[in-house]
Amino acid sequence: MADKKAQLTIGEGAAPLELPIYSGTLGHDVIDVRNLISSGYITYDPGFMSTASCESKITFIDGDKGILLHRGYPIEELASKSDYLETCYLLMHGELPTKEQKDEFVGSIMRHTMVNEQLKSFLNGFRRDAHPMAVMCGIVGALSAFYYDSLDNDNPRHREISAHRLISKMPTIAAMAYKYSVGQPIMYPRNDLGYAENFLHMMFNTPAEIKPISPVLTRAMERILILHADHEQNASTSTVRLVGSTGANPFACIASGIAALWGPAHGGANEAVLLMLDEIGDVSNIDKFIAKAKDKNDPFKLMGFGHRVYKNFDPRAQVMKQSCDEVLSELGIHDPQLELAMKLEEIALNDSYFKDRNLYPNVDFYSGIILKAMGIPTSMFTVIFAMSRTVGWISHWMEMLSEPHKISRPRQLYTGATQREYVPMDKR
């Protein structure tokens, strides 16, 4: 039952329409407009900026206060105290696991890291210079042709098996895409390594030379994965829910999320930071580009500063900055581009123009710097984002299927031609 009701009056003398108002545990109250169509009206909300498309218990964001909670736990605590697979369990199941539950979950994930050997033949069909996101999108979509034994969406056990397969195989697929692009042999996963460490092993080692992975780099990768694991009803998550509402198999749903994430306005933000640094070129050019950023008539924008959702600060950025400092110290890198990034950070944190407008360095700024310092090419940045976000997508998919739902069918404001007669060719 709704706690309150809103009244909508349309035209003079018309009886007001009563619309239920629901309150969640956190966040805005929600006006239920589902029955509005029976009165001959629908709502208009391009981009769904003021529309709740679903009910969810997974992630809560308060952009004004800089709050991001996964199942009630602040992201800062998870990134500092947890690890990625524990966070995966939390997102999927709603509670932190006991030791026994975690051991069982981690064991299941690590036992499914290999992919069908025939996928290597599938991989060989791509051009070597294909973007890794294209390769990942294709391979993940094709997984349903290899793992079709557990595709009954109405069966909770099948949903769990598919979820575990996706989470476990994504690092393998991501590393395969990278190795293929650089012409190196594919490295098989090692189940004796942790999730993040195994990914770095598959990325950077070769059969000819296997080196231990630095704990500092492993921890930085863990944090990147945790901090990007879920972000409420963003474009890619909403895409997965929409595709999932049709009854599509989980591999097709996650492939749709990857395709949505590929858009530069969504998943390409940390890559855009590196491209911006390329454009600035040198520390000596900073003042000129800062002036361009301050000029409202200049199209140049500083990428990686401020955030569409977080209006005061990005709660993920502080943890990521810590990892950024640790990685740069560990590697001892003296890269002109990284020095340029650090100078920009210094300016943004001290310049009144940036402070007054809350243009703070966000999570994408620091993650881009970390990944570059590790030696990961920019084309792989969004792939790693997709690898991390898979658990968020699959958690929302599982949540939706576990509850009554309808196929998604947004409406529109039609402004085209009204009905008209066909004009024969000789009369046009």
> The tokens of 410 are what?
């947004």
Nearest 5°: phi and psi at 8?
A: -115, 120
Q: Which of 164, 307, 314, 396 is catalytic?
A: 307
Alpha carbon distance 95, 396 (integer Å): 15
- Give dist(CA 140, CA 242) in Å, integer: 18
Contact between residue 168 and residue 110 where contact means Cβ atoms under 8 Å apart: yes
Contact 260, 88 (CB under 8 A): no
Instruction: Enter the tokens of residue 339.
Output: 């020095």
Q: Could you tell me the sign of the dihedral formed by the alpha carbons of 400, 405, 407, 413, in that order?
A: negative
159 contacts 250 by C-beta, under 8 angstroms? yes
- 83, 230, 314, 364: which is the annotated catalytic residue? 364
Angstrom distance (rounded) from CA 241 to CA 237: 6
Residue 409 carries which side chain, given as an amino acid letter?
A: R
Catalytic residue list contains 364? yes
Rounded distance, CA 173 to CA 115, Å?
Answer: 8
Active-site residue flag, 158: no
* Structure token pair of residue 352: 């009144």
Residue 86 CB partners (closer than 8 Å, separation 6+):
96, 97, 102
Amino acid letter, 167: I
Residue 186 per-residue DSSP state: P
Alpha-carbon distance of 275 to 281, in angstroms, equals 10
SS3 state of residue 223: helix
**Complete DSSP assignment for 36-76:** GGGGT-----GGGTT------SSEEEETTTTEEEETTEEHH
Residue 32 · residue 21 · CB < 8 Å: yes
Contacts of 294 by beta carbon, 8 Å cutoff, 6+ apart? 353
Q: Which neighbouring-strand residues pair with 70?
A: 59, 73
User: How far lies 203's CA from each of 41, 200, 423, in Å?
Assistant: 54, 5, 61
Beta bridge partners of 20: 5
Does the active-site annotation cover 307?
yes
Rounded distance between C-alpha atoms, residue 366 and residue 325, angstroms: 9
Catalytic residue, candidates 93, 266, 351, 405: 266
Catalytically annotated residues: 266, 307, 364
